[in-house]
């Protein structure tokens, strides 16, 4: 897991329309970068809906929301349309950003060990430095905790 105070690794990945998006495109803006395991699963859907519900408040706080998973751009397109998600979803099928942000880790579920994305959120300042790391976040409270953090900064 990367730590606060670390320069955020840049990446360039396709969005749900197939357009390339880079972290460096958001220089000068606060970025809420959240990694999640999979589109259309119960936890990931609740997490995305939380960010969608708080999206206007997050934008008003000067932040852009970007969700990343290893799902395809086509999967992201269906997911975003189904739940009316207003923010950016990026496809990382090659695990480029997922590994760079150290969220591809061993997971244990029902006694079975496998590799997967650990649900994590990073708040990256306009200078490209990670301000806050939220490891193993709960899907239902992630967006609210991010907003609380931004409000506490007085943005």
d(CA 29, CA 47): 22
32 touches 67 (CB < 8 A): no
d(CA 47, CA 53): 10
87 touches 12 (CB < 8 A): no
Among candidate residues 13, 31, 44, 103, the one labeled active-site is 44
44 is catalytic: yes
d(CA 107, CA 92): 19
Burial 61-92 (b: 16+ CB within 10 A, else e): bebbbbbbbbbebebbbebbeeeebebbbbbb
Catalytic machinery residues: 44
């Amino acid at each position: 897991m990367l730590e606060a105070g670390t320069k955020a690794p840049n990446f360039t990945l396709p969005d749900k329309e197939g357009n390339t998006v880079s972290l460096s495109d958001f220089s000068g803006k606060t970025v809420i970068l959240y990694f999640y395991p999979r589109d259309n699963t119960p936890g990931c859907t609740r997490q995305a809906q939380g960010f969608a519900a708080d999206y206007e408040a997050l934008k008003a706080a000067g932040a852009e929301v970007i969700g990343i998973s290893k799902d395809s751009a086509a999967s992201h397109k269906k997911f975003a349309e189904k739940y009316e998600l207003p923010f950016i979803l990026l496809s990382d099928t090659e695990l480029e950003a997922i590994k760079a942000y150290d969220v591809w880790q061993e997971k244990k579920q029902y006694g079975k060990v496998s590799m997967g994305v650990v649900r994590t959120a990073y708040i990256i300042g306009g200078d490209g430095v990670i301000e806050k790391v939220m490891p193993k976040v709960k899907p239902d409270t992630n967006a609210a905790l991010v907003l609380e953090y931004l409000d506490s900064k007085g943005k």
